[in-house]
Structure 1
Amino acid sequence: MQHKNSFKLICLSLALSSVFASASSLAQDLKIALIAGKTGALEAYAKETETGFMMGLEYLTGGKMEINGRKIKVLVKDDQSKPDLGRTALAEAFGDDKVDIAVGTSSSGSAIAMLPVAEEYKKILIVEPAVADAITGEKWNRYIFRTSRNSMQDGLAAASTIKSGGSIAFLAQDYAFGRDGVKAAKDALGAVGAKAKIVHEEYAAQNTTDFTAAAQRIFDVLKDKPEPRVLQIIWAGPNPMNKLADMKPERFGITLAPGGNILPVMKNWKTYVGTQGTIYYYYDFPKNKMNDWLVAEHTKRFKSPPDFFTAGGFAAASAVYTAISKAKSTDTEKLITAMEGMEFDTPKGKMNFRKEDHQALQSMYHFKIKKDQKNEWDLLELVREIPASELPVPVKNKR
């Protein structure tokens, strides 16, 4: 009888060990969904975001790809920058794939469509790199955090460089990103007390390739207005700056003011020496250990420096890593508690999630195009870093 009882105890012990081992094995899979527009107009942005996100996790985990002892598994999903596909991809990630946290996406329109899904599943969505103000404004919910800058941060940065009088016209894409960008730029000019007057807004379809008619309307309005006359371009994807420059706006005393863009776009601006603008990130501007590693490793692996959205993907990875490490859990409520007001390191330096709307507050950069360029990617000269303290981003949600 004693032997039988001993045998039963051994069997029970083995069974329990198997259960605990199985549970432990399951616990080691930390699932993260990364949703991006890998096909379509924003394909280049998506590729950079994914590269930066994976390099960020590698750096932060020392190559182990683990957080709190749990093996990281990243599920990459392509929403083609389409709102319906973005919504479906996030629902599948939270519902079928049982991911712990999600990051995305490239298009503002798609990101806005994803926001209610995060609320429905009560799971965290870190928005990167979409910028529309509505994401942390009227469309926001408590499960949304954003590492990318928003349109108002873009606008405030640009406005800080145009405080004098004169006349401003806008050329922007006719969808959430473009219209949000113009609204933010107008609000920002008011916020910094700029004396320049906005004289025209021109919106064009995302796939526009011929800007002749749009440019002519802008030139006709600007040419007789008080100087300086500035045409500010708010555009995602292939940028129209070269085509506008070919129409010689300088004939009318008009200066182009582009927002920063990805390196393959900006290298086509080399002939516009001295042209100024503002940008979220340029590899040579931030001076910190994390950026040094990113620049060195990216150049080693890809034969080019990291780009605009590479840094953004890295920042999102840092937010994920810091939040889960701090919360010691992937429980949504514990993550929210950990993330509200959380400071985290990025290639740009410190960012922190504002408690009121979960927008990452961060610095921006005022640049001008270099005269003496040493190589293919030596494009921009830093005028100055614009600290977050000089970018009074208003809280626009209804919390």
Structure 2
Amino acid sequence: MKKFRTLKTTIVAALCLVAFLGTSYASDKPIKIGVLLPFSGVQAIVGETIFKAMEIAFEDANYQAGGRKLILVKEDTEMNPKMGLTKARKLVERDQVDILSGLVSSAVAYAIRDYVVAQKIPLVIANAGAQGLTREKASKYIFRTAFANGQYVGPLGPYSANKMGLKEMAVFCPDYAAGHEKASVFTERYTKAGGTVTETVFTKLGIEDFGPYMTKLKKADGVFAFYSGGDAIKFVKQYNDYGLKSKMPLVADGSVVDEVFIDSLGDAAIGIISSMHYSATLDNPENKKFVSKFRAKDGRMPNGFARQGYTTGAAIIHALNAIKGKIEDKEAFLEALKNAEFNDPAGKFRFDKKTQNIIFDVYIRKVEKVDGQLVNTIIDVVKDQADVWTSK
């Protein structure tokens, strides 16, 4: 009997030692965060902007959370769905990342969605705005710190009709998913506020000459437009060159007057009203520090993409701290991420508990020249905007 008790005590002690060593190993093991972004091609500037801002969030935390080291492992999606899925598999199966993040293209996000859910890997989307990702295709493993297409555009509808007095407007958008979703949301909110859309024009991506559309534009009180990058620059300049700016005020998605290229627009941009979930001119402590650090790292003023990158990193770090770094307990991490609340450069951060899509304040902005520099000056704020789908 004595030998049996001794053997039993030895086994229990051994099991406790194994458990202790396992716990110790887990607590010492670095937490890996995979970052899927375009680092080549025409959208490389977006990927680099998001990643640099993410780095700032991790630098602020000294690349630690919950007492554990944090490692970023980045891969280039090339804005290609098949490549995106291949890179996601590599990060999960070969690099053994604990969390996935990033994604600019909604097509890439959709391509990896089922894989992420099957592997039970938390995914924090830093840009891809396709509405379905946090609606019909929502999952407890998917979060979005950026926006759902139309989320920050929606408030421009009633603002245009009621505060600007624009009773008839035309809509210009590129002919792809985001263009259609944003046009739909603006139209819905604008007409609900009493406005009338006179015509909706969808143009191909990369169009060089908007002239054929602008010369046939019906008379209206104003125009709403969503374009980005080179298309935005061409649209704004040609809208001014055709003499439309003085006749029909331009109201736009914030990407039309993005801080990255706003200087390239010249005086053609002055007076454009836009909406966005961020402005580099926001006067709060978090934003002042963020602007200073981003300019030191990148040389430019931060834009909405930068804010999204920083917030993605900050949300992950916040959740890891809440669970004391125990990422092995995925359910605890998912719950901590869902309930994360903190102040980021754009204001108070939190997720919609139903969709796990971000809730944010929308800033109505006007392009002005301040001390010789074009800036998006905030002229109004629409508080606490969730995805319009959730607020119906």
Q: TM-score, normalised by structure 1?
A: 0.84
For 1:24, the aligned partner's letter is Y
Q: Report the CA distance shift for 1:123/1:296 in structure 2 as closer, same or farther (over 3 A).
A: same
Q: What is the aligned partner in structure 2 of residue 347 from structure 1? A: 345
Q: 1:156 aligns with which of 151, 154, 159?
A: 154
How much does 1:26 deviate? 7.9
Q: Which deviates the most, 163-172 or 195-204?
A: 163-172
1:72 matched to 2:70? The reply is yes
Checking the alignment, whether the CA contact within 8 Å between 1:109 and 1:176 is kept in structure 2 is no
Per-residue CA deviations over 1:166-215 (Å, capped at 9, x if unaligned) read 2222222222211111122223335xx31111222222222222222233
Checking the alignment, whether the CA contact within 8 Å between 1:154 and 1:185 is kept in structure 2 is no
Which 5+ residue runs of structure 1 have no aligned equivalent? Answer: 1-12
Whole-angstrom distance in 2 between the partners of 1:125 and 1:302: 26
User: 1:286-301 to 2 correspondence within 5 Å?
Assistant: 287-301=283-297
How much does 1:74 deviate? 0.4
Q: Report the CA distance shift for 1:113/1:201 in structure 2 as closer, same or farther (over 3 A).
A: farther
Q: Report the CA distance shift for 1:273/1:152 in structure 2 as closer, same or farther (over 3 A).
A: closer
Q: What is the aligned partner in structure 2 of residue 320 from structure 1? A: 316
Whole-angstrom distance in 2 between the partners of 1:169 and 1:113: 34
Whole-angstrom distance in 1 between the partners of 2:94 and 2:297: 34
Checking the alignment, whether the CA contact within 8 Å between 1:136 and 1:396 is kept in structure 2 is no
Per-residue CA deviations over 1:273-323 (Å, capped at 9, x if unaligned) read 2221112212112x3222121112223343332222111100001110111
How much does 1:21 deviate? 9.4
Q: Report the CA distance shift for 1:70/1:188 in structure 2 as closer, same or farther (over 3 A).
A: same
Checking the alignment, whether the CA contact within 8 Å between 1:327 and 1:335 is kept in structure 2 is yes
SS of the residue aligned with 1:156? coil
Whole-angstrom distance in 2 between the partners of 1:343 and 1:309: 20
For 1:195, the aligned partner's letter is G
Checking the alignment, whether the CA contact within 8 Å between 2:351 and 2:357 is kept in structure 1 is yes
SS of the residue aligned with 1:151? coil
Whole-angstrom distance in 2 between the partners of 1:206 and 1:129: 19
User: 1:1-399 to 2 correspondence within 5 Å?
Assistant: 20=21, 24=25, 27-59=28-60, 61=61, 64-164=62-162, 166-190=167-191, 193-217=192-216, 219=217, 222-223=218-219, 227-228=220-221, 230-238=222-230, 239=232, 240-250=235-245, 253-261=247-255, 262-271=258-267, 272-285=269-282, 287-328=283-324, 329-330=326-327, 331-370=329-368, 372-376=369-373, 378-388=374-384, 393-395=388-390
Which 5+ residue runs of structure 2 have no aligned equivalent? Answer: 1-13
Checking the alignment, whether the CA contact within 8 Å between 1:137 and 1:396 is kept in structure 2 is no
Checking the alignment, whether the CA contact within 8 Å between 2:190 and 2:196 is kept in structure 1 is no
Whole-angstrom distance in 1 between the partners of 2:330 and 2:214: 49
How much does 1:99 deviate? 0.8
Checking the alignment, whether the CA contact within 8 Å between 1:56 and 1:314 is kept in structure 2 is yes
Q: Report the CA distance shift for 1:375/1:78 in structure 2 as closer, same or farther (over 3 A).
A: farther
SS of the residue aligned with 1:284? coil
How much does 1:383 deviate? 0.3
Checking the alignment, whether the CA contact within 8 Å between 1:315 and 1:346 is kept in structure 2 is yes
Q: Which deviates the most, 350-359 or 336-345?
A: 336-345
Q: Report the CA distance shift for 1:41/1:303 in structure 2 as closer, same or farther (over 3 A).
A: closer
For 1:231, the aligned partner's letter is V
* Percent of paired sites with the same residue: 19
Whole-angstrom distance in 1 between the partners of 2:134 and 2:391: 7
Q: Report the CA distance shift for 1:344/1:86 in structure 2 as closer, same or farther (over 3 A).
A: farther
SS of the residue aligned with 1:249? coil
Checking the alignment, whether the CA contact within 8 Å between 1:106 and 1:130 is kept in structure 2 is yes
Checking the alignment, whether the CA contact within 8 Å between 2:53 and 2:294 is kept in structure 1 is no
Q: Report the CA distance shift for 1:21/1:326 in structure 2 as closer, same or farther (over 3 A).
A: closer
How much does 1:395 deviate? 2.2
Per-residue CA deviations over 1:100-145 (Å, capped at 9, x if unaligned) read 1111211222222222221111111111112221221222222110
How much does 1:20 deviate? 4.0
How much does 1:157 deviate? 2.6
Whole-angstrom distance in 1 between the partners of 2:100 and 2:207: 32
- Could you say what the CA RMSD is over the residues aligned between the two structures, in angstroms? 2.7
Whole-angstrom distance in 2 between the partners of 1:82 and 1:373: 40
Checking the alignment, whether the CA contact within 8 Å between 2:277 and 2:360 is kept in structure 1 is no
Q: What is the aligned partner in structure 1 of residue 6 from structure 2? A: none
Whole-angstrom distance in 2 between the partners of 1:44 and 1:159: 30
Q: Which deviates the most, 115-124 or 303-312?
A: 303-312
Checking the alignment, whether the CA contact within 8 Å between 1:34 and 1:74 is kept in structure 2 is yes
For 2:271, the aligned partner's letter is G
SS of the residue aligned with 2:370? coil
SS of the residue aligned with 2:354? coil
Q: TM-score, normalised by structure 2?
A: 0.85
Whole-angstrom distance in 2 between the partners of 1:300 and 1:250: 35
Whole-angstrom distance in 2 between the partners of 1:187 and 1:339: 32
How many corresponding residue pairs?
367
Q: Report the CA distance shift for 1:246/1:307 in structure 2 as closer, same or farther (over 3 A).
A: same
SS of the residue aligned with 2:78? coil
Whole-angstrom distance in 2 between the partners of 1:185 and 1:21: 54
For 2:91, the aligned partner's letter is A
How much does 1:346 deviate? 1.4
